[in-house]
Chains A and B, each alone.
Chain A
Amino acid sequence: MAALVTLFVIITISFFMMRLAPGGPFSKDRAYPAEVMKNIEAKYHLDKPVVVQYGIYLKRILFEFDLGPSTRYGDRSVNELVKSGFAFSLKVGLGALFFSLLMGLVAGLLAALNHNKILDVIPMSFSMVGISVPDFVLAYILILIFGVTLSWLPVAGVDQIQGYILPCLTLGLIYASSISRLTRGGLLEILGQDFIRTAKAKGLSSRRILWVHSLKGGLLPVVSYLGPAVAGMFTGSLVVENIFQIPGLGRFLIDSAINRDYTLSMGCVIVFAVLILILNLVVDLVYGLLDPRVSYE
């Protein structure tokens, strides 16, 4: 329910922000004759009052799942464009999520189990770097190392599957650093608690203590961080798609916002928002499974 309210707020804010800005989608190109302009405006309902436009738009989205025609690519609907971009963005996002969880959990576990030893210091120093380095700088560092110097991986384009490795690695590394710190912190806290000492006193193997008793509670901070992390990864995909020339949603969003293609940029924002809201919901559910103390209204 709350998610639907949020979605409604998102649609409303972005709609009015786009409409209240000076300049329309057709004001940049060379001026059309007045009659032509009138026809175009009628086609996109731009001649009606803003409130009426809003009503039409809302109705079309909610009841027909139709994001409308693109005002720039006249012959293609926003649904089509978004669908083509979505496939790329989703692959980048899921790949980044996979990398970040893999690297973050492994590094965090290593650090927590070797508290204050060399295997703790090294991953944590790397994670400090990862937190500070901006995604676009990291992208170029990886390009220069793996693309140019070693020429192992393609530096742009996703025609082959290898093309996804560098973009996903870029985003994954950045979020892996936060995940590793949270994993370490959560585990250290759990490992210091009484029930772990009880388990040890009972003579349970340390492996069983780690996998059965500690991990479930220790990973709670990581799970709750995944919500904002997922949102961040999709925002970061704007940069990564730009650098690695991936024709995803992020590219569409930036280009359409600059070209004042109202319907397309709103479509992108809405799709991103829905994606983030759904993933947040999943995170909440997983959190509830891991921690029975959490109850839902």
Chain B
Amino acid sequence: MTEKAQRSLWQDALKRLKKNKAAVFSIFFVMGIVLAAIIGPMVLPYTYDSQDFDRINNPPFTSSIQKFSDEKFVDLIPEDYALFAGVYWNTKHYLGTDDLGRDLLVRILYGARVSLAVGFLAAIVSLLIGVVYGSVAGYVGGRVDNIMMRIVDTLYSLPFMFFVILLMAIAGRSFYLLFIAIGAVSWLTTARIVRGQVISLKNSEFIEAAHASGTGHGEIIWRHLIPNTLGPIIVYFSLLVPRVMLEEAFLSFLGLGIQAPMSSWGSLVADSRNFVTLYPWMVIFPGLALTLTLFSLNFIGDGLRDALDPKLKGKQ
């Protein structure tokens, strides 16, 4: 009799994930962005606030240095540019400079640090609150569960973004407040998901066995219930991160998040919006970085969902 190699749920999921080309490509892309965000600012000879007054509003590339200088009222330094494939490429500031002569590439990379950090930290904050809340509600059950989920229902119907806006506007715009505020308002769905999972699990035999062997309630939740809800939690987390990043960008764009001279992708777009018709690259590159990253994160989330929960495949 040939023995089939045993595969765990996770190995199965990994195999399914590897088959999803869009998700694999997205994982590499996000890893590339993370690496660039870490290493880039160390390697590049500029920081996010270093200014070069001789090179203000310099483009990343142009078809004609003379024409650009005349049309856009910018004196370019011809030595900075190298002709390649019929286009003059900026060899000093690869993605050009902004209206204060700051290097756009390094600002985008600093922005990547901020945006990714806020995205992951706020998602973790919301995950922690949601998991604890949901597992307690589901495990205790009865009237406590009823009350706890009623609170969640009520909070669900509040237009939360407005409160976050008020909070950021009146309580100062600090980095920590930003991700606590975002995290604190996006835990509701996590709580619902975890509660549902816990309820369906808590009457199963292995929990009964744990009870019988004298395990405490806290330990049952922590050791037995939460690990078994990990699949849906991971899927939800991976879809939460891009949503949180979008919210951060939204707040920063409105001037309520990250403040100059520090940059985030949202604030970079906001800072340059008045020049969008004249110097579009200042808006296009940070916008592109944000969009592509969100795009990849969404693909990863979709891929993880298909891999961990094949039943859901193809559904929204």
Q: Which residues of A contact B (CB under 8 A)?
A: 2-3, 5-6, 9-10, 13-14, 17-18, 21, 23, 128-129, 131-137, 140-141, 143-144, 147-148, 155, 181-182, 185, 188-189, 221, 231, 234-235, 238-239, 242-243, 253-254, 257-258, 260, 265, 269, 272-273, 276-277, 280
Task: List, sorted by A's number, 22 A–B pairs whose CB atoms are closer than 8 Å.
Answer: A14-B162, A17-B163, A17-B167, A18-B166, A132-B291, A133-B291, A136-B253, A137-B291, A141-B287, A144-B277, A147-B277, A185-B314, A185-B316, A189-B315, A221-B316, A235-B159, A235-B162, A239-B250, A239-B253, A258-B169, A269-B162, A277-B157
Q: Count the B residues whose beta carbon is within 8 Å of the partner chain — how many? A: 41
Whether A238 lies near B166 (C-beta < 8 A) is no
Whether B159 lies near A132 (C-beta < 8 A) is no
Residues on the B chain within 8 Å of A221, using CB? 316
Whether B158 lies near A140 (C-beta < 8 A) is no
Is B92 part of the contact surface with A, judged by Cβ < 8 Å?
no
Residues on the A chain within 8 Å of B253, using CB? 134, 136, 239, 242
Residues on the A chain within 8 Å of B165, using CB? 238, 253-254, 257
Is B11 part of the contact surface with A, judged by Cβ < 8 Å?
no
CA distance A133 to B286 in the complex (A): 12
User: For chain B residues 2-38, which have a beta carbon within 8 Å of chain A?
Assistant: none
Residues on the B chain within 8 Å of A3, using CB? 157
Does more than half of chain A's interface fall in helix, strand or loop, or is it mixed? helix
Given contacts A23-B170, A147-B277, A277-B157, 7 further A-B contacts (CB under 8 A): A9-B154, A134-B290, A137-B287, A181-B316, A185-B314, A185-B315, A234-B159
Whether B163 lies near A21 (C-beta < 8 A) is no
CA distance A131 to B166 in the complex (A): 26
Whether A257 lies near B169 (C-beta < 8 A) is yes
Chain B, Cβ-Cβ closest to A277 = B157
CA distance A123 to B30 in the complex (A): 25
Whether B269 lies near A140 (C-beta < 8 A) is yes
Is B221 part of the contact surface with A, judged by Cβ < 8 Å?
no
User: For chain B residues 277-316, which have a beta carbon within 8 Å of chain A?
Assistant: 277, 280, 283-284, 287-288, 290-291, 294-295, 298-299, 314-316
